Structure 1
């Protein structure tokens, strides 16, 4: 099991990552914010303007992202979005990972939508 996680993490190193502030600036300049969390997670908390494609659906829906925009991938903590970033960059898209996900976004005081 430890070998699996070491391999997973090593495959995600070197990905283009962004701080919440840098991600916000990139989104404001036209990048797409892609939320790769489950619909249930998104229903509780989301970032305004984000588009949801859960990570497990992303391989089948990459074509919907082929519009020339930079994609900022976001999840709860940054791990699933790192996997999404790797998948998208391997497919030739300009993708970046929001480091530490919506947790860091919220901690930076950036806007979120909360539902109960």
Structure 2
């Protein structure tokens, strides 16, 4: 399974890459990597039309378990999904910028 660390994710996002956060709403509102779209893991199968086809995108959760499950499912469905090792906990530990609060104004 393809995987990147948060340092590589930061560079990819700066270059305009897309990110999918598969955590629950409360987790995402508490703290998140800015940008991207939010679809809780259990809702991903029913919301595939919201995920871009034909471009690589990065899937994140809290530490990497749920995102790994999402990446397996999405790759089986034909998407070019890449897991983010360490998730938002690693992103925060690395000192990268975060956002918090309601998801209004961001894709969710």
Shorter chain as denominator, the TM-score bin is 0.7 to 0.9
Counterparts of 1:9-20 in structure 2, within 5 Å, are 15-20=1-6
TM-score by length of 1: 0.81
**How many aligned positions are there?**
101
Structure of higher CA gyration radius = 1
User: Which structure carries more helix by proportion?
Assistant: 1
- Structure 1 unaligned runs (5+)? 1-14
Q: Note if 1:33 corresponds to 2:19.
A: yes
Q: Does structure 1 conserve the Cα–Cα contact (< 8 Å) formed by 2:31 and 2:98?
A: yes
Q: Note if 1:78 corresponds to 2:70.
A: no
Cα distance in 2 between the residues matched to 1:57 and 1:108:
29
State the secondary structure of the residue aligned to 2:90. Answer: helix
- Structure 2 unaligned runs (5+)? 102-108
Larger RCO, structure (CA 8 Å, separation 6 or more): 2
How far the C-alpha of 1:30 sits from its partner, in A, is: 2.5
Q: Deviations over 1:46-88 (max 9, x none)?
A: 1111210000000011122134321100000100000111111
TM-score by length of 2: 0.86
Cα distance in 2 between the residues matched to 1:31 and 1:69:
9
- Across the aligned residues of Structure 1 and Structure 2, the Cα RMSD in angstroms comes to 1.2
1:59 to 29, 38, 45: 45
